[in-house]
Amino acid sequence: MKKLCYSAFIAFWSSIATLLAVQVMATDSPAGEQATATFTLEEVAAHASANDCWAAIAGGVYDLPPYLPKHPTPPAILAAWCGQEATEGMRTKGYGRDHSPMAWEMLEAYRIGDLAE
Amino acid sequence: MTKTMIARALLWVLALMPLLAAAIALPEGSFRNGAAALSSLGRLTAIGGLGMFLVAAIVSFRIPGFDRVFGGLTTLWQTHHLLGAWAFLLLLAHPLLLALAATDISLAAGVAVLLPKSGGTATWLGWGALLAMMAFLAPSFAFFGRPHYQRWKWLHRLSGVAAVLALAHTFMLARTLPEPWDTLMWVTLAAAALAALGYGLVLSRRANRYRYQVAEVARPANNVVELSLVPEGRALSYQAGQFVYLSPLDPGLAAGCGEEHPYTLSSAPGEPVLRIAIKDLGDASRAIQTIATGTEVRITGPYGAFFPDRDDAPELWIAGGIGITPFLARTRALAQRGRAVNIQLIYCVQDQARTLFGEELTRLAATIPGFVITLHYFYRDGPLDGDFVRYHCPDVSSRQVYVCGPTPLLDLARQVVLGAGLPRARFHSEEFNLL
């Protein structure tokens, strides 16, 4: 058991180091950093179907169709928020809890701009 | 299944309960593709790991009497080690699995799970808990060489910090079980750990602490002392084969003054003095060889359940070196009782000169009908083997076998008697490998 735990300890730090090294070496900048456009809620509302789905969440605007099939719940649950201000949906998922920091970080990959004030 | 096995199985059920509850509560589709499966496993490992961690904490507070339910303190500690090791493995996997799950979106998302750019308080609490866990487990798993006992003990207190940080992390993020079950489950386990801590460290410690005075220091060998202690107040009540934690309070000691270390009692219950034989095996036990008579010691205990309450079955004892102490206590008790027994003792030592308490054991054996001692000298007989045991104890497989001694002898004895057809349930060993 001692050997197993030691191996796991080494494997853990090796994996973390590998992940960070690959990230540092990756040349493509994350999509989120290019977002400078600003959209109004009316513009967001024009994309209200599962195939053309924008959502306004916590001041950002997100283009979600590539993500919909990856979400854990059935697509219809997310589709209901298409074209809407969906912050509430992010904050109160099943059992009324906020999404995890991981989910929030994942969302950033789909950001296309900011929501106009 | 024996009662102690059932008690230990219940501990595992308690430890695995959060994992089972979470597995049942996982929404449909949690394993429908690679990323979803990684994410679900990432959660399950966290919940399973924390459950085992908290139960490992609950059983770690040594409460005299409580340990007997589980087959003695050393057995309970094996459960503690195993729970702790599994918790560690699962909790190491937890962040990696979640990060890998997020790489399905992008590499940046995966890294951001581990190192969030903003608003990651819960994540950083989790990191704090994991790093604290690595720190306090490093000596336990001998990551960086053999640990120093006192440093290990001190570092292990970081487990409290790890538990608090891990619980905070969990309360901020938990989303797998519906409320109020989620909060209820963690609060219950945390409260049980806290209650065990409070009871084990404060109330029970006070109720099971005794003050004794060193009345006599006998020297059965040049690196072994046997202390005779007389109570200053109430006296400890114990059974043969049990052990205590002893803290010498002699300020003249070169090391270990006020430090507590476990030692087996070598006196028979009912003797007016408490006797403890100590071999020079480390800094503290070396220093105690020069302890002054008239100084005080503090005793906490008793612990352990080496011998059963009923003792009418035929027994084989195998002792190695200073591992004779629990058997010495039992022999002294049997000599007082004077009833016929069916006990074989194989006492393994290097050579005749290193036989501890040999004279006394031979003398006592002569007064106990049915008690036979066989000496095994390593220099003459080589390592203990099946032929030697079967020759001196042909009915070994039908006896209860008790072994106490250094780890190599313990492993050898286990191999020999199990090889001779002894059912595993009848093999009992007392291991002082507490790390």
pLDDT at A30: 52
Question: Could you tell me which CATH number the domain at A31-115 has?
Answer: 3.10.120.10
Which of these ranges, B148-152, B225-229, B285-289, has the smallest mean pLDDT?
B148-152
Total of domains in chain B: 3
SS (H, E, C) B100-152: HHHCCCCHHHHHHHHCCCCCCHHHHHHHHHHHHHHHHHCCCCCCCCCCCHHHH
pLDDT at A103: 79
What would the two tokens of residue A64 be?
Answer: 């979600």
Same-domain check for residues B230 and B175: no
Long-range contacts of B392-395 (CB under 8 A, 24+ apart): B392/B344, B392/B346, B393/B316, B393/B344, B393/B346, B395/B314
A92 vs A88: CA distance, rounded Å: 6
B150/A contact by beta carbon, under 8 A: no
Residues B22 and B143 in one domain: yes
pLDDT given for residue B176 in this prediction: 76
Residue A94 confidence (pLDDT): 62
What is the rounded distance in angstroms from the CA atom of residue B233 to the CA atom of residue B191?
A: 34
Q: How confident is the model at residue B432 (pLDDT cuts 50, 70, 90)?
A: low
Which token pair is B178?
């519906």
What's the gap in Å between the CA of B176 and the closest CA on chain A?
A: 9
Tell me how far apart the alpha carbons of residues B5 and B206 are, in angstroms, rounded to a whole number: 29
Last-in-domain residue among B303, B323, B350: B303
**Between chains, do A8 and B88 touch, taking CB under 8 Å as contact?**
yes
The pLDDT of residue A77 is 77
Same domain, yes or no, for B124 and B85?
yes
B148 φ, ψ to 5°? Answer: -85, 130
Whether A16 shows a pLDDT value over 50: the answer reads yes
B276 and B344 belong to one structural domain: no
Furthest C-alpha separation in chain A = 61
- The pLDDT confidence band at residue B91, using thresholds 50, 70 and 90, is very high
Percent of chain B residues topping a pLDDT of 70: 99
Among B397, B409, B332, residue whose Cα is nearest residue B364: B332
Q: Are B416 and B391 in contact (CB under 8 A)?
A: no
Measured distance CA(A93)–CA(B26) in Å, rounded: 14
B292 pLDDT tier (thresholds 50, 70, 90): very high
Tell me, yes or no, if B96 comes closer than 8 A to chain A by beta carbon. yes
Residue B143, both tokens: 């990551």
Q: Write out chain B residues lying below 8 Å of A8, CB-based.
A: 88-89, 92-93
Is residue B60 domain-shared with residue B157, that is, in the same domain?
yes
Domain match, B49 and B160 both: yes
Structural domain includes residue B435: no
- In B, which residues are within 8 Å of A104 by CB distance? 119
Domain with B351 in it: what CATH number?
3.40.50.80
Shared domain for B164 and B110, answered yes or no, is: yes
B101, B107, B123 ranked by CB distance to A101: nearest = B123
Bridge pairing between strands B315-320 and B224-231: unpaired
A-B CB pairs within 8 A amount to 105
Cα–Cα distance measured from residue B245 to residue B293, given in angstroms and rounded to the nearest whole number: 19
Q: Are B315 and B404 in contact (CB under 8 A)?
A: no
Q: Does B145 touch chain A (CB under 8 A)?
A: no
Q: Inform me whether the C-beta atom of residue B178 falls under 8 Å from chain A C-beta atoms.
A: yes
Residue whose structure tokens are 């503090």 = B298
Q: How confident is residue B435, by pLDDT bands cut at 50, 70 and 90? A: very low
Who's near B46: CB < 8 A, 6+ residues apart?
B90, B91, B94, B170
Provide the domain limits for residue B130: 3-206
Residue B308: inside a domain? no
Beta carbons of A97 and B174 less than 8 Å apart:
yes
Measure the CA–CA gap between B18 and B190, rounded to whole angstroms.
12
Q: Which of A68, A105, A110, A111 to mutate to test the interface with B (most CBs of B within 10 A)?
A: A105
Q: Do B113 and A95 touch (CB under 8 A)?
A: no
Residues B348 and B293 in one domain: no
Q: What does the pLDDT look like over A40-99, one tens digit per residue?
A: 888 888 998 888 899 999 888 999 888 887 776 767 777 888 888 888 888 877 666 777
Residue B310 counted as domain residue: no
B134 touches chain A (CB under 8 A): yes
Mutate to test the interface with B, among A6, A98, A102 (most CBs of B within 10 A): A102
For residue B102, give the nearest of A73, A74, A102 by CB distance: A102
Question: What average pLDDT score do residues B164-179 get?
Answer: 85
Q: What share of chain B is helix, strand, coil (3-state, %, to 5)?
A: 50, 15, 30
Q: Are the beta carbons of B199 and B66 closer than 8 angstroms?
A: no
Q: Comparing A30 with B13, which gets the higher pLDDT?
A: B13
Statement to judge: residues B293 and B196 lie in one domain: no
Distance of alpha carbon B284 from alpha carbon B301, whole angstroms: 19
Length of chain A: 117
Q: Are B110 and B103 in contact (CB under 8 A)?
A: yes
Return the H-helix or E-strand segment holding B18. Answer: helix B3-25
Q: Looking at the structure, do residues B214 and B290 belong to the same domain, yes or no? A: yes
Of the candidates B250, B256, B259, B258, the one whose C-alpha atom is nearest the C-alpha of residue B293 is B250
Minimum-distance CB partner of B102 among A11, A72, A106: A106
B215 to chain A, any CB pair closer than 8 A? The answer is no
Length in residues, chain B: 435
Going from N- to C-terminal start, the domains of chain A cover 31-115
pLDDT tens-digit map of B326-381: 999 999 999 998 889 999 999 999 988 889 999 999 999 999 999 999 999 999 99
Q: Which residue of B has its CA nearest to A25?
A: B107
Which element (helix H / strand E) includes B178?
A: none
HEC string for B266-292? CCCCCCCCEEEEEECCCHHHHHHHHCC
CB B242 within 8 A of CB B302: yes
Is there a contact between B85 and A1 if contact means CB atoms under 8 Å apart? yes
Would you state the pLDDT for residue B52? 96
Question: What is the pLDDT at residue A34?
Answer: 55
Choose the mutation target among B111, B134, B137, B171 for the interface with A, i.e. most A CBs under 10 Å: B111
Closest residue, chain B, to A73 (C-alpha): B29
Measured CB to CB, residues of chain A less than 8 Å from chain B are 1-2, 4-6, 8-9, 11-12, 15-16, 19-20, 22-23, 26, 30-31, 67, 70, 72-74, 93-97, 100-102, 104-106, 108-109
* ipTM associated with this complex: 0.76
B115 and B7 within one domain: yes
Which residues are registered as beta bridge partners of B349?
Answer: B377
Alpha carbon A85 to its chain's center: 15
∠ CA B320-B323-B326, rounded to 5°: 135
Q: B8-12, B56-60, B147-151: which has the minimum mean pLDDT? A: B147-151
B42 lies in the same domain as B164: yes
Residues of B in contact with A15 (CB under 8 A): 96
Given this model, what pLDDT does residue B102 score?
85
B333 dihedral zone (left: phi>0; alpha: psi -120 to 50; beta): alpha
Determine the pLDDT at residue B18.
93
Question: Has residue A32 got a pLDDT over 80?
Answer: no
- The pLDDT > 70 percentage for chain A reads 88
Per-residue model confidence as pLDDT tens digits over B232-291: 999 999 999 999 999 999 998 888 888 888 899 999 998 999 999 999 888 888 999 999
- The closest alpha carbon to A10, from B95, B50, B143, belongs to B143
Point out the domain boundary residue: B178, B206, B234: B206
Average confidence score pLDDT of chain B: 89
Give the 3-state secondary structure percentages of chain A, helix then strand then coil, rounded to 5: 50, 15, 35
